Structures are given as structure tokens and as C-alpha cells.
Structure 1
């Protein structure tokens, strides 16, 4: 449901209404608690990592989440934040997440250099001193404590006063009070003051597309969507590989980790200081660029090149990473990450090492007639893909017009669709080898998925994982009938 209203009225709607208060964190009057943000520095290299507290901030808006759903039961992410009572050890809040540092740590550079990244965790303001713990998955794929900070949100050094909002948030879709909905914030970067109308139009168009894709379509009533962009002097964001350098509010750029299509911001403080002026649990950044690119970090944010012909796909695919912790299912495109050679069972819900075919993580979707591993035209696909990747690299190296790259993508998808249409297990759920950037040793659940190529639908396993995340934030009360 779309509701046209002023921003002030929309905020009141989003934050009003009865909530199920948890006595361990909610104020005594039952109102939503404030939002606490802990900013910290995460540094290290391939062999070691370190944490240091930066600052504790009370954000301008109340906590947007449901106080009845403060504990995460999805078991996703490289990391997990836990907020516990400093005296009793009672767990008050938890969420899984991943980090840019965690991705950088798997690059070649991390074997030769040490770097630091800013990170943040947010949680409802407790009524007592707490310990904030950052946990990390170990070699057994289990969480263990990596860092602990004692936090008193009433201490004198807590930042309580914020500068005025640098831009006015726009309500794109308001379905109900924030605590009962998933709040998605669409941020713009590289939009000039003259581009503000373009940004709003693009944010509305891409949000509308998101809710045409299952399972977001069936759960659209569980979402609020907001948009916010701080104007820049120049249009577009930086792309260092082409000597393009633009100052922008979020400092988003291409060429992250040396990958020409990878778009992120590593300026966490700038991101959080702008985002805090709108209700949010998830963030997608639109960059005002034509060149294909995007990125997504689970529990942090996702990005998409808003002016590219494939913006719809980029928006949804990268949001799948950020929102539900979905792994990339493709494996023939070059990436910045280095293979460890090991084949541990991934934490991501949509890929597996298939160590125990009898207990594959999506076994409830399997039928007895489907063999594991599941045959598919893998060799033919890989032969075509090698040729396609060579052409793609040549186009980018020669800095050819983006229209040529877009045509290549369309032709590649048409070829793949034709190949898969003849495959015997075209629509089956099984274990198809080739996923998680690896040609062997990792498996995806279906032959084709929005996380595998530029097709337009999620596989059953990805759709289920997305639904579980929606349930964590919005429960089942807002489900629409199909």
C-alpha cells in the first residue's frame, strides 16, 4: 500500500502503535527505546585481527525493530553481535552479520599488508550497563568470542547530540509502524542537487521492481521503504580504474579489491551518520552511474549502479546478499577472493560442500528421484563461459561503450536459457556442482537462480532463506495470500 504524506507524518506512523515490549531492553513506559550505535575499528591481515572501540552514539530516531524479536535464530554471517547484561550475562540482543574486513581478509593483499576498517553494530538502548560481544566463526563453523567491550549508554562520553539531517528522507512505501515491518533505506550517492528528482524516481522504480520478485512480492506488506540522498557537486561516484574521481557523501566507488565491477563504500562513519536520519534495518545504495556494478555485505549494505540496463537485477541480486546472507552461486566470473583450497560447509543457506548427501541443508526440498550430485550440462556451460568472459574482459579493457557490455550480457543469458531448457533436471532441487566461486567442491540447489546468473527469479532455497529473514524482522502477521 502506497501512502502519500509528509515525512513528519510518515515517521509518526512508522514509530507509533502498540509493540510487544521486552522488559530487559524497553523503557518502563513501553515506548520504543533509543537506538544505540557502537562504532569500532576492525584491523588486521590474513593471519590476525584486532578491534578497538571508537565511539558510542545515541542515534536521533528510536529503535525501528520489534522488541519481541531481539534474538537472531537464523545462524548466518561470519560474525554475530551479542549484547548481554553486564552483571547477569543475560542475552538481550543478537544479530548475525558479515564485514568488508572479512571479505578483504580473503584477498591477496591481506597476505602482504595490514588494514583497518570502520564498522558499527546497532541495538535497542538497554536500561543497564552491558557487554557488547563480537563473535566470529571458527574453523569448526561455530561462533567464538573475538572481542568484548563494556558499554554504559548513560556514560558521559556517549555522543547524544547529532547534527541536523543533511537531507530530507522520502517515504517510498509505508505499510505500518516500523517495529512491525522491515525498514529498507535506499541511499543515493553521486546525485547532484539537480538530480534529486531523478534519484527519487529511480528509488521508487527499483523498490517497485523488488516487490515483483518472489518472495518479496508475497511479503510486500511487511516492508517500509525510505529514500535519502545528500547532494554532491558532481554526478556519479569514483571509478579509479578509469581515472574518474568524484567526491561524494558516502564515498562509494568502483574497483573495490581491484575488481572493476565491485562497488562499495569503506567510509562506515559517513554511511552511518547519514543513514541514522531515517528508520532502517537494511540499506541499499544507488550510485548515479551507467557502468555495470554493485556489491552486497550481509547485514551491512548493498549497492547497485542505478542507471545501468541491468539495474533491476543488480538491485535484487545484491540485496539478496545483504538481506538474507545468500552466497553467489556463479563460479566462472573473476573475483578478488583467494581460494583456501578447503571445502568447509558454508554458512550461507544456498550453497553446500555436500559432505553428507543424506543430510544436505535443503533436504526437505528434495525428491527421491533426483540424484545427488545432480547432472547438468556443466562442461558445455563452462566452454561457453570461458569464451564469454574473454569477450567481457576485452570490452572492459578497451573501455567500450556500456551498450556493448549490456548486449553481451543479454546474449549470454539467452544462450544459457536455451541450454538449460533442454536439461533433464531443469526445475529440480538437487545439488548442482559449481557455486561459491568454485567449479568443484561446492554445489547450488537448482540449476538456475538469480544468484547464479542474470535470470529473474530466486530458486526455492533462496526464496525460503529470504522468507526466514522477513520473519525475523516482521513475523507472519503481515503475510499476504498468494
Structure 2
């Protein structure tokens, strides 16, 4: 393990930028402020409480020209405002694990607390940090606020030396000009550190073969970082496997055997702070199919799965661009309330007014809304497929059998859709957002719908919007 102090990181980053042919940023970036807090409650109520304010070791990695978020994504939004005059200084949309947990059955009878953090550039004045939340009309309102003076005596400024050195996977330029993606590893022993690096490089390379990441590859920096574990792999409680790991990542989140997250936000942030990042994907050293993604928080993928490439990109779509799941036949932990409110996600709609479809510009004139597709045939096959999938998991069959089932399912879907009249066309196809009826997706097939390789046109545009928010055009660099 390589130990190094934060004071060595800036020269490292400057050297990497120069090696990539980029000049150092003209002005020094501000410090990075992190507000750690507790978010607690149940299905009926929620509360917030501040834990601490931290000045992270690295300067702010964001684009100073895009401090304000105009993408309208996320269940929540953080706003940093001037205490004296109320001027908005910084904003970002995000979602939370707590917000997902509130939709489970457990939240109806249990109160839980989750750790959360928001990060923002340091300003030369006290600020008010506001957390906003969407209502049923998709309008934001303030649910909590706290005043933060980053120069106050109780702010944490002294941090321990970095426990490991970040690995530069792709360095395209200065962090302020690029999207910084950090790939963390969990469940890798010291002897498996080379395996982690190889997986990080391979999966990052695959990401940049998928449009629109392929066309925008030069707008990204990618870093990798992991701490060794004593045991190989992360916990999978449903099979009796419990492993201690630095990030606490595990399967079976909210009772879903394939849902992989960490709820240890403190551990996540205390490791991630030693590398430049705006987005995080965690690779778990496991073969079992699984992953997860929370917009503005992080995503996960089982790095050794036969479907690792798909998992990495699909889950990153959630985390990076706030894309909705478009599938609806797989069981999930969330409980529907029966209402069909318009989703904030850019790739799902309740289609209350077809004349005002949110992705109308992608739809050819004369296309029927809703748009016909072989839904009945798809659903009939899916029922048998999901039954077989449940049987394989219940019997704890070898992962190769599950992978073969996934391959057969994808082949069947492709053959079915190849005969459909609206394949590869935008419209409003019923079945999305975990619901068979009442929600619609933009195209028949997309990586957010099944295990195919490409994003639909609407998802590609939504991803491009976020790349623009975090990067700077070459002419301005």
C-alpha cells in the first residue's frame, strides 16, 4: 500500500495535466467543503441533523462557470446561498438512499437514519445550505436549511494522510474543465489490487465505446482507488456471506438480491476525498450479477459478472444522468402507491398530455402516442422467464446458469422487436418505471430497458446535458 500526504496531490494532478498536453488552470480552485448530516424518518415524516463540516484535502474539481444546475434532475436539490443577501451561489440536483427506502414496506413501521453529504466550493463568506425536495407537482420546496461558516473553529481541516494513491485511468485535462469519474473498489484483497486496476481500466474503456460517452470521451478524467480487504468479495447476506470491507458495500439492499449499495456514507466520502471526483462508481469483487445507482450519489457493479459491462453503464446512467429504469417485469423492493405522477426522470412519462410529451422533438410526425409494440407477447414470455430466474436464485444455482438465462432472454427480445414496426423509433411505449401500465418509455429498446448495448436517443441527450454541466468546451479551456 502506498501512503502519501494531501500536500503531494496538487503537484501530482498538475503533472498529469501537463503530461496530457494541458496547461495548469490559470486561477487556483477554491477548497472543497463537505457538509455531513443525518437524514432520518419513515414513510410519513423525515428529519435532518448536521453532523460536521469538513474541508476536504483536494481543491474543488468543478467547472466554476457552471455553479448553478439547470438540468432539473433529482428528488432533491442542494442550494448554497449568501446568508446576507440570499444570492444563489451553487446548486445541484440529487437523490438519496433514504428517499428510496421510504418507498419500501419497512418504512411503514420502522424509523431509520441514513448518513448523507453535500459538497460545494468554498466561498469567502458564510453561506446557508438548503435542502429542497420535490412535491407531487414536481416543484421544489425547502425541507431543511443550516448556516455554514467554513472558517469556523469547529470545521474539520486536519485529515489523516491518504491511505492509498489514486490511479490515473484517463486524464484529459484539468479537473475544472472535465467530468471527474472516480472508480472505487470494494472486496479486493492486497493480492487482488492488480485485478481491481485491470477491471477499472477495462470497464472505463467500455464506457467510452457507448454513445454519447464515446463522442464525449475527451470531456472525462477517470481515476481509480481501492483499499485492500482481508477477504475477497463483499457481503451477500441472503446466502449467509458476510465480509468486512472498507466501504461496506453489499448485496440484498431493501431485500432485493441483486441490489448492491453501501449505506456507509462516511466511509465512502472519507476514501473518495483523496481523489478528484464528481461521480463515483464502486466495483465489487464478485461474480454474482448485481449493481445499483443513485442519482448524484454513486453507482455500483459486480466487476466479475459476465454482464459487468452492461451493469457498469446501466447503473452509471442512473447515477450520472438520473435516468429511470425502463423495465417493469423484474421484481423490485419499492411499493407502488397506485398513482401515476409525472416522473422527473427524463426518460419516463405518465403521458397525461400526449401533445406535450417531454421528448416530443425526438418523435416523427404522425407517430401514434401511445405507440404500439408487441407488449402482450413480451409480457407472456417475461412471466416464464422471471419464474425461472427466481427458481435459479432460490436454488443458489451456479452463476453461469443465470447468465445463460439472461442471454436467452436478450436474444428472444431482439428477435421479437426485430419484427416490430417502430423498432429504433421514438414514441411513447407503455411499460416503464417498474410499472406495466401507466408509464411510458421513449423507445422500444434501450440499455435502461434490457441488457442491450445502447442508450436510446432521449437517454443520450439527457446524458449530454449532464456532461455539459460538468465540463467546459475546449474553446473556453
Say which is worse superposed, 47-56 or 163-172, in terms of deviation.
163-172
Structure 2: 5+ residue stretches without partners:
1-7
Local SS of the residue matching 1:264: coil
1:251 to 248, 262, 270: 248
Task: State TM-score, norm by structure 1.
Answer: 0.95
1:230 aligns with 2:227: yes
Alignment partner, residue 301 of structure 2: 304
- Deviation, structure 1 residue 282: 0.1
- Deviation, structure 1 residue 390: 0.3
Local SS of the residue matching 1:185: strand
The aligned runs of 1:372-411 (5 Å cut-off) are 372-411=369-408
- Deviation, structure 1 residue 368: 1.2
The aligned runs of 1:67-82 (5 Å cut-off) are 67-82=64-79
User: Residue by residue, what CA displacement relative to the aligned partner does 1:396-436 show, whole Å, maximum 9, x if unpaired?
Assistant: 00000000000000000000000000001011100000000
C-alpha distance in 1, partners of 2:152/2:55?
Answer: 11
Indicate conservation of the 8 Å contact 2:238/2:257, yes or no.
Answer: yes
2:342 to 334, 341, 345: 345
Indicate conservation of the 8 Å contact 2:10/2:58, yes or no.
Answer: no
C-alpha distance in 1, partners of 2:418/2:406?
Answer: 18
Indicate conservation of the 8 Å contact 1:221/1:478, yes or no.
Answer: no
C-alpha distance in 2, partners of 1:8/1:31?
Answer: 11
The aligned runs of 1:6-85 (5 Å cut-off) are 10-13=12-15, 17=23, 30-85=27-82
C-alpha distance in 2, partners of 1:243/1:338?
Answer: 26
- Deviation, structure 1 residue 164: 1.1
C-alpha distance in 1, partners of 2:231/2:339?
Answer: 45
User: Residue by residue, what CA displacement relative to the aligned partner does 1:450-479 show, whole Å, maximum 9, x if unpaired?
Assistant: 000000000000000000000000144389
Indicate conservation of the 8 Å contact 2:446/2:454, yes or no.
Answer: yes
User: Residue by residue, what CA displacement relative to the aligned partner does 1:334-375 show, whole Å, maximum 9, x if unpaired?
Assistant: 000000111111000000000110010000111113110000
The aligned runs of 1:72-471 (5 Å cut-off) are 72-471=69-468
Indicate conservation of the 8 Å contact 1:7/1:169, yes or no.
Answer: no
C-alpha distance in 1, partners of 2:117/2:295?
Answer: 13
Aligned length: 465
C-alpha distance in 1, partners of 2:474/2:353?
Answer: 36
C-alpha distance in 2, partners of 1:264/1:478?
Answer: 39
C-alpha distance in 2, partners of 1:369/1:135?
Answer: 39
C-alpha distance in 1, partners of 2:25/2:81?
Answer: 22
C-alpha distance in 1, partners of 2:25/2:164?
Answer: 29
C-alpha distance in 2, partners of 1:11/1:147?
Answer: 36
Indicate conservation of the 8 Å contact 1:392/1:405, yes or no.
Answer: yes
C-alpha distance in 1, partners of 2:353/2:225?
Answer: 46
C-alpha distance in 2, partners of 1:19/1:347?
Answer: 36
C-alpha distance in 1, partners of 2:30/2:426?
Answer: 44
Indicate conservation of the 8 Å contact 1:7/1:171, yes or no.
Answer: no
C-alpha distance in 1, partners of 2:64/2:158?
Answer: 24
Local SS of the residue matching 1:351: coil
Provide the aligned C-alpha RMSD in A.
1.4
Indicate conservation of the 8 Å contact 1:38/1:120, yes or no.
Answer: yes
Alignment partner, residue 4 of structure 2: none
Assess, with a 3 A threshold, how the Cα gap between structure 1 residues 472 and 14 changes in structure 2: closer, same or farther: farther
C-alpha distance in 1, partners of 2:474/2:426?
Answer: 29
The list of structure 1 runs, each at least 4 consecutive aligned residues, that deviate by more than 2 angstroms after superposition, is 6-10, 13-20, 475-479
User: Residue by residue, what CA displacement relative to the aligned partner does 1:255-280 show, whole Å, maximum 9, x if unpaired?
Assistant: 00000000000000000000000000
Task: State TM-score, norm by structure 2.
Answer: 0.96
- Deviation, structure 1 residue 11: 1.3
